[in-house]
C-alpha cells in the first residue's frame, strides 16, 4: 500500500471512530447547528475503509472464530505444516522500542504480520496501533501489564485480557480475538481452558529468535535460517533494535528458501486445495 493510500486509510479510520463515539444530545445539536461545509458521509467512509482493507488484507476475510473452532481452541505452537508458509509474530510489551523500525521494514517488504500487544503498549502508543491497523497487520492480545499468569487470580486473568481487548478495539476498531499469547509463554492447562472460555486460543511459538535475551542481528538471522520450517510461528519482539536490523535479511533469506511470510491466521489455515485459487 502506498504511503498516501495508507494516510487516507488512517484518516478515514479516525473519522469513522469519531463518528461512532457517543455524543451527548447537546453536543450533537451544537454540531448540527454550526455553519459547517458539506462533509463526506461518515458511514460511507467507514464502508470504503473496510472494503479497501479487506481487499488489501486477505486474512481479514477469514472467520477466525471458525478457524479456532476447527483447530479445537486450546493452545498452538505451530501452524499448518502442509504449506511452505511462516508467520513472523511480534510481541509488544510496555515500551515502543523499535516498533516503528519494525513497521518500516515490514512495509518495505510488503508484508502483513501479527502483533501481540499489551494494553499498556496500546495506551502509551496509540499512533503505532493505528499504523499497525493501517498497514494491514493482525493484532493479538498479550495481557494488560504482562504479569506471569501462573501467579494471578482468575478474575485478574479475565480483567487483563478484557481491558486490552477494549482499548485495542477503541483505538483500531479491531478485535484481538481469538488470539492470546501468555506473557513469558507461562500458562497451564487450567489457564488455557479459562482463556478458551473467554474467546481466545493460546498462541505459543515454534521457535524464539532470542532477541529479547540480547541476540544480535547476525545471531537472529542465523537462528531463523536454522529453524525455519513449514508452518512455523516465529517469536520476535518489538523492543529489539537488533531484531529490526535483522528483519530485512531474515525476510530475504526466508523468501529465497521458498517461504511465504503470512499472518498467524493464514499460517493456521489448511493450504488451499489444488485447483482452487
The two counts, helices (H) then strands (E), for the chain are 12, 9
Q: Cβ atoms within 10 A of the Cβ of 2, count?
A: 7
Q: How many residues does the chain have?
A: 277
CB of 118 to Zn ion, least distance (A): 7
Do the beta carbons of residue 160 and residue 182 sit within 8 Å?
no
- Written as one string, the DSSP assignment of 224-268 is HHHH--TTBEEEEETT-HHHHHHHHHHHHHHHHTTPEEE-HHHHH
Beta carbon nearer to Zn ion, 183 or 202:
183
| Residues 233-262: x where in contact with Zn ion by CB under 5 A, - otherwise, as a string | ------------------------------
Binding-site member from 1, 16, 59, 91 for Zn ion (CB under 5 A): 91
- The yes or no reply on residue 112 touching Zn ion (CB under 5 A) is no
| Residues 160-199: x where in contact with Zn ion by CB under 5 A, - otherwise, as a string | -----------------------x----------------
Please indicate whether residue 237 is annotated as part of the active site.
yes
CB of 210 to Zn ion, least distance (A): 13
Please indicate whether residue 252 is annotated as part of the active site.
no
Per annotation, catalytic residue among 137, 142, 146, 237? 237
Cα(209)–Cα(92) distance, rounded to whole angstroms? 15
Q: Cβ atoms within 10 A of the Cβ of 152, count?
A: 15
Cα–Cα nearest to 79, from 194, 201, 238: 201
CB of 109 to Zn ion, least distance (A): 23
Q: Which residues are catalytic?
A: 91, 237
Which chain residues interact with Zn ion by CB under 5 A?
91, 183
Amino acid at each position: 500500500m502506498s504511503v498516501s493510500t495508507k494516510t487516507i486509510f488512517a484518516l478515514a479510520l479516525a473519522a469513522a471512530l469519531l463518528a461512532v463515539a457517543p455524543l451527548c444530545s447537546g453536543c450533537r445539536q451544537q454540531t448540527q447547528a454550526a455553519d459547517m461545509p458539506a462533509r463526506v458521509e461518515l458511514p460511507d467512509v467507514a464502508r470504503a475503509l473496510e472494503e479497501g482493507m479487506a481487499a488489501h488484507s486477505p486474512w481479514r476475510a477469514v472467520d477466525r472464530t471458525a478457524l479456532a473452532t476447527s483447530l479445537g481452541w486450546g493452545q498452538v505452537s505451530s501452524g499448518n505444516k502442509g504449506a511452505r508458509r511462516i508467520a513472523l509474530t511480534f510481541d509488544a510489551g510496555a515500551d515502543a522500542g523499535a516498533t516503528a523500525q519494525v513497521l518500516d521494514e515490514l512495509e518495505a517488504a510488503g508484508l502483513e504480520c501479527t502483533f501481540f500487544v499489551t494494553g499498556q503498549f496500546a495506551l502509551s502508543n496509540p499512533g503505532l496501533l493505528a499504523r499497525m491497523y493501517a498497514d494491514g497487520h493482525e493484532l493479538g492480545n498479550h495481557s494488560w501489564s504482562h504479569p506471569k499468569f501462573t501467579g494471578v487470580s482468575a478474575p485478574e486473568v479475565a480483567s487483563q485480557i478484557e481491558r486490552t481487548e477494549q482499548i485495542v478495539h477503541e483505538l483500531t476498531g479491531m478485535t484481538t480475538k481469538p488470539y492470546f499469547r501468555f506473557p513469558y509463554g507461562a500458562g497451564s492447562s487450567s489457564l488455557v481452558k479459562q482463556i478458551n472460555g473467554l474467546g481466545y486460543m493460546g498462541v505459543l511459538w515454534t521457535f524464539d529468535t532470542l532477541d529479547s535475551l540480547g541476540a544480535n542481528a547476525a545471531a537472529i538471522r542465523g537462528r531463523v535460517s536454522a529453524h525455519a520450517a513449514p508452518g512455523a510461528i516465529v517469536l520476535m519482539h518489538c523492543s529489539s533494535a537488533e531484531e529490526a536490523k535483522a528483519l530485512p535479511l531474515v525476510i530475504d533469506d526466508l523468501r529465497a528458501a521458498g517461504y511465504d511470510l503470512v499472518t498467524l491466521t493464514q499460517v493456521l489455515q489448511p493450504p488451499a486445495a489444488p485447483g482452487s485459487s
